[in-house]
Amino acid sequence: MEQNTRMKVEDIPFDKLEKAGINRSFVDRMEKRELTDFLNGFRSEKLYTINARINDQDYKIPAKIRLQQDQDGKVDVKVHPIQRLYIPDEYLGHKFTKEEKGALLNDKNLGKTVELTSKNGQKDTYYLGIDGKTNELIALKARYIQIPDKIKGVSLTSEQKDKLAAGQKVTVDGMMGKNDKKFGATLQVDAAGRNISFSNFKQEKMEKSEDQKQEAKTEKKAGSRKRVS
């Protein structure tokens, strides 16, 4: 797994994390995907309790942590505490409209892709969303998300795939969930989760087969005869 990540477990500055109040055993409790993302420089999925000193007072605050590697290969830890939910007027060269701010505040995702300019001056296409745990504005490069041909047993149409790739919402019915129960939901690329999110779930009624229908009719007739006698 580590061969496919930018950093390795032994690169993690455990001494700094322990000073911040995080025991090195936290790595052992990470799931495989979570650890892979963490070693690739993404924010941790979970919140950790961090020691912080503010105005000469010691506090313990919840925060996500992230690994950052400089040009010399040195790895440092970045802390992302919970912050007040706020959408700036401009972010990395993109000026938000009133409608775009509303989408981020209400849906936690912008609902479309935008061109942003990174700190080193490079332009790229991004998804934008709000981290539901820290309230941070998260930018995710669009090329990091691959829209699959099929989701939960349902083959997506070209139109559905194009809309998802563009950051829009798509309603998909007939998906197979747990216990072989079909359901429908609204799908959208989630920038903070780096995946496709599901919302507005609706359970679908399973259509009975011809054998099941015939069996139900037989049982109903049998019940009627019993009541008559």
Q: What is the mean pLDDT of residues 140-154?
A: 95
Asked whether residue 209 carries a pLDDT value surpassing 80, the answer given is no
Q: What is the mean pLDDT of residues 96-110?
A: 96
Phi, psi of 42 (to 5 degrees): -90, 160
DSSP state of 147: -
Residue-wise pLDDT for 30-48, tens only, equals 999 999 999 999 999 999 9
pLDDT of residue 44: 95
Asked whether residue 148 carries a pLDDT value surpassing 70, the answer given is yes
Average pLDDT over all residues of the chain: 89
Q: What is the DSSP string of 173-218?
A: EEEE-GGG-EEEEEEEEETTTTEEEEEEEEE-PPPPPHHHHHHHHH
pLDDT of residue 135: 96
pLDDT of residue 211: 53
Please enumerate in sequence order all residues whose Cβ is within 8 A of that of 97, keeping only pairs 6 or more positions apart, or say none. none
Confidence of residue 54 (pLDDT cuts 50, 70, 90): confident
What does pTM read for this prediction? 0.79
pLDDT of residue 229: 41
pLDDT of residue 137: 96
The better pLDDT of the pair 55, 133 is held by: 133
pLDDT of residue 217: 59
Among 72, 22, 10, residue whose Cα is nearest residue 47: 22
Cβ count near 100 (within 10 Å) = 17
Asked whether residue 227 carries a pLDDT value surpassing 70, the answer given is no
The better pLDDT of the pair 214, 210 is held by: 214
Q: What is the mean pLDDT of residues 120-133?
A: 95
Among 101, 136, 139, 135, residue whose Cα is nearest residue 118: 139
Asked whether residue 213 carries a pLDDT value surpassing 80, the answer given is no
Triad 40, 46, 48: Cα angle to 5°? 105
Asked whether residue 197 carries a pLDDT value surpassing 90, the answer given is yes
Distance between CA atoms of residues 114 and 133, nearest Å? 23
